[in-house]
Chain A
Amino acid sequence: MPWRLLRFALSKHHPEGRMFTPHSRLKPHYDVVIIGAGGHGLAAAYYLARDHGITDIAVLEKGYIGGGNTGRNTTIIRSNYLTPEGVRFYDESLRLWQDLSTDFDLNLFYSNRGHFTLAHTDAALRTCRWRAEVNKHYGVNSEVVDAAFVKRTVPMIDLSCSGHAPILGALYHAPGAVARHDAVAWGYGRGADQRGVEIHQQTEVLGIEVQAGKVRGVRTNRGNITTGKVLCAVAGATPRILRMVDLDSPLYIHPLQAMVSEPVKPWLDTILVSGSLHIYISQSSRGELVMGAALDPYELHSTRSTLDFPEGLCAHMLDMFPFLSTVKVMRQWAGMADMTPDFAPIMGKTPIEGFYLDAGWGTWGFKATPVCGKTMAYTVAHDHHHPLITGFTLDRFRRYALTGEKGAASVGH
């Protein structure tokens, strides 16, 4: 190797920055233990450290950072939900997203695309109108557009969908965006790490000690920890953690699958969703088409994908974009979505003192990452619900006060 290059390798002037500090052992006590180093858990750690001055935190992760649903979603960010609780919550999230790259000093590839929810039936168009009105009332940029507008924006689309399901109009949400999902976990993780939070990967929680209705500690495969506060942010593994503390919940787990095509020239600069055809599609900055569909139809605790999935998804995709028939599918995968009966999350305090839940994020968790982190950090720090999450608490089911968020992804109307 020429000396000119080698001296850079030996020089200490430009050291390679590490994203995370490795920690060889767990301390015996932490003020807060967060289970799950995905976007939500790391965001909560970040805001606890940054906004509430709590830095004695361990984030425990069974696998690796962002390896769960954070790295398995289709990266869509939007706030055109249906209930006032949902719209307010996701809109705050969208605002946080917009300057997150600056906050982290890390490029999240946040890309504002515009988001269409296509309506193929009168009923779907009516729901679009309903959503648009709720959205506008809360100041969210959202409107109903006609089929000609869709065609102008996406010239490649077959508006008749091969004659099966003609597109009548759409809900258009201009702030809809995509971002690089693993960078979100890394950004929050690095920010938390720099403020003194310990992130422990390959650390599985085996049990949670509860005495007299209060959290006392956590047992892991790397030793025991005492703590008074545990935040559980583990998406599809939530029922397993709840079993450790003997809590029942309405959560049920269905796999949600997605796939990407080979990279092709840029031709789609918006995000398209069709409830009737059960598809959503966007094109990544690398040129891959990122595609998803509805939940798998039965309960399963597995992240294996199936062959039925691309078969069904491709059939619907070709209804809308017949020219894609020669494009190949490159990868497919699945995540475990933790679903709730009203399609709203379960957040906040539980009957066990010091045990906080951030779950039920099913098919809609990625876009909520920043605001979940922020509101859960507030809730953990003050042991008091943040005002934005009071509609999402676990005890709403006991009170029959469901939230009814049918603006969620892959939910039919």
Chain B
Amino acid sequence: MKIMTCPINGPRPVSEFVYGGSVRDMPDPHTCSDDEWAAYVFNRGGAPGVKREWWCHTASNTWFIAERDTEQDRVLRTYLHGEEG
């Protein structure tokens, strides 16, 4: 079983978590061009590597950020938003 560490509840089975997609910065919709907006809406960094992602521990409804290596299938670290350290 794969284990993920919730910043509040500690190590839990990965089946208790939901993946929320990668952390992405939204361009200002008032000033950016249509192409920039389309790129933000649709494009993803699909290549393998270490990614910052949103995850939710569903049992406690805790949203947090995980740094995960999508090639090695390893979670490097997890922390609450704003508590990056």
Contacts and interface: CB of A to CB of B under 8 A. Distances in A.
Given A307-B1, A308-B1, A300 B44 contact: no
Contacts of A400: 38
A331 interface: no
A266 interface: no
Given A242-B46, A242-B47, A301 B18 contact: no
Given A301-B48, A398-B38, A249 B73 contact: no
Interface in B12-59: 15, 18-19, 22, 35, 38-39, 41-48, 51, 53
B60 interface: no
A299 B70 contact: yes
Contacts of A297: 18-19
B84 interface: no
Instruction: Give the top 4 A-B pairs by smallest Cβ distance, nearest first.
Output: A239-B46, A298-B19, A301-B48, A239-B47
A297 B19 CA distance: 7
Contacts of B15: 308
B73 A252 contact: no
A389 B48 CA distance: 28
A302 B73 contact: yes
A253 interface: yes
A312 to B, nearest CB: 9
Contact of A397 (B1, B42, B53): B42
Contacts, number: 59
Contact of B71 (A242, A250, A301, A399): A301
Interface in A217-249: 238-240, 242-243, 248-249
Nearest to B2: A306
A241 to B, nearest CB: 9
Nearest to A395: B38
**Consensus secondary structure, chain A interface:** loop
Contacts of B45: 239
A251 interface: yes
Contacts of A239: 45-48
Contacts of A398: 35, 38-39
A305 B1 CA distance: 12
Given A240-B47, A240-B48, A250-B46, 11 more contacts: A243-B47, A248-B39, A250-B43, A250-B44, A252-B46, A253-B48, A297-B19, A302-B71, A302-B73, A341-B42, A397-B38
Q: Identify which of B19, B22, B51, B72 gathers the most chain A CB atoms within 10 Å of its CB.
A: B19
A239 B45 CA distance: 8
A41 B45 CA distance: 24
A343 to B, nearest CB: 13
A304 interface: yes
A299 B19 contact: yes
A204 to B, nearest CB: 15
Contacts of B38: 397-400
A108 to B, nearest CB: 32
B1 A252 contact: no
Nearest to A306: B2
A238 B73 contact: no
A397 B70 CA distance: 25
B15 to A, nearest CB: 6
